[in-house]
Amino acid sequence: MSRIAVLLNPANPSNPIQLKDIQAAAPAFRVTLISLEVKGPDDIDPAFTTIVKQRPGALLVLGDRLFATHQSQIIKLAVKNRLPTIYSQSLYVEAGGLMSYGANFTDQYRRAAIYVDKILKGAKPADLPVEQPKKFELVINLKTAKQIGLTIPPNVLARADRVIR
């Protein structure tokens, strides 16, 4: 795979930062990136038209509320075009997307509850350390892989935290 499309929302402050990091890493993997900005729901179909014309080997969908809101449309277009796609959240995979790698939200919610407990017991929020996510998960949907004609190697399946059959 030498070309990867990246779907991002430039209005999301983290998306351009993530894209910059991905662009910095791409040359080491000899990958050319095709970045597509989606600013609203009306930009999704045209972005996929461009993706299909550019013929990348895969698609990376960055995390964004717009994409989560329109996840079924994005998943349907990715599957229709037999495009291996990775998402930042498992909810996409549960809805029919191919795979996701990202922070485990259940773990983050538990950790947030610990902070709430500390604050309710008198801790000052400013005194509590800022934490990064500690648990990440890889989720793969084998049904979708079969649908798009993709075989997931056994060593990748073995590393997955969850496999949807």
Pairwise CA distance, residues 42 & 11, whole Å: 15
Pairing label, strands 58-61, 162-164: unpaired
Spatial CB neighbours of 77, under 8 Å, sequence gap ≥ 6 = 44, 45, 48
Q: Give pTM, 2 decimals.
A: 0.89
Residues paired with residue 7 on neighbouring β-strands, in sequence order: 36, 61
* Closest residue by Cα to residue 139 from 71, 82, 92: 92
CB atoms within 10 A of CB 91: 15
What's the pLDDT tens digit per position in 3-52? 999 999 999 999 999 999 999 999 999 999 999 999 999 999 999 999 99
Q: Provide the pLDDT for residue 3.
A: 97
Q: Provide the pLDDT for residue 1.
A: 83
Domains located in the chain, CATH noted? 3-103+136-164 (3.40.50.2300)
Q: Provide the pLDDT for residue 97.
A: 98
Pairwise CA distance, residues 35 & 47, whole Å: 10
What's the pLDDT tens digit per position in 125-157? 999 999 999 999 999 999 999 999 999 999 999
What's the pLDDT tens digit per position in 57-103? 999 999 999 999 999 999 999 999 999 999 999 999 999 999 999 99
